[in-house]
Amino acid sequence: MQIAKYKHKLIATALAVVFVVVDFVTKQLALEFIPKNTTLTIIPGLIDFRFLFNDGAAFGILDQSRWVFMLSTVVFLIIGTIYFIYLDTKKVYLAYVIATIFAGGVGNMIDRVTTGQVIDFITFGFFDFPSFNFADCCVVVGCFMWIGYLIYEIIIERKLEKNE
């Protein structure tokens, strides 16, 4: 049956949808329950919640560039979707990588379209680090997964070259 062939793509897509929903719900909770200019300590010395709007890129870089980020996100999402559709069904891990990064892009795009800014609310309590959100985590984790995948592919390729 054909569905079995695409099982991991379907699971990765479902996972991306779940990640987008988690991102949306956590941002709505932040909007409702975290007062502005207030830091809520969640795990002392580790994680705090501090609500803010970010109209730039990661960590507030390039403020006031909303349309640049919206356009680049749309381009990435289109290219990522096409790549995902044509991705070899045997590349299971890569399907999850793409879905994870895709979810982060969609989560932050929803904010840019609906509010004009991205909602950030998670901060580290142990050092001064810019606020972020679940979508940002998806993008970062997905990129690290992709780097790991590329390193793995390079190692396998070199081993194969040595054995020839």
Annotated catalytic sites, by residue? 120, 136
Q: DSSP class of residue 124?
A: E
Cα 120 off chain centre by: 13
Instruction: Write b or e for each residue in 85-115: b if 16 or more Cβ atoms lie within 10 A of its Cβ, otherwise e.
Output: eebeeeeeebbbbbbbbbbbbbbbbbbbeee
Our separate counts of H helices and E strands in the chain read 5, 3
HSE, CB side, 13 Å, CA atoms: give it for residue 121. Answer: 24
